[in-house]
Amino acid sequence: MANVKVRSASIYVSGRKFGECFENTYDVESGDEPQFGDGVVLGFSDGIIQTTLSCKSVMPVGGSSVNMLVLMKNKTDLDVALATIDGKIHQVSMRVTKASVQSTHKNGTQEGTFTLSGGEPDIIG
Q: Which pLDDT belongs to residue 116?
A: 94
Q: Which pLDDT belongs to residue 63?
A: 79
Q: Which pLDDT belongs to residue 12?
A: 87
pLDDT digit string (tens) for the chain, length 125 residues: 455 566 778 888 888 888 888 888 999 999 999 999 988 999 999 999 999 999 988 888 887 777 888 999 999 999 998 876 777 888 999 999 999 988 888 888 777 889 999 999 999 88
DSSP single-letter state for residue 46: -
Burial of residue 120 (number of CB atoms within 10 Å: 0-12, 13-18, 19+): middle
- Phi–psi pair at 104, nearest 5 degrees: -125, 110
> Which of 65, 48, 49 has the alpha carbon at shortest distance from 11?
65
Confirm if 115 and 94 have CB atoms less than 8 A apart.
no
Q: Which pLDDT belongs to residue 104?
A: 86
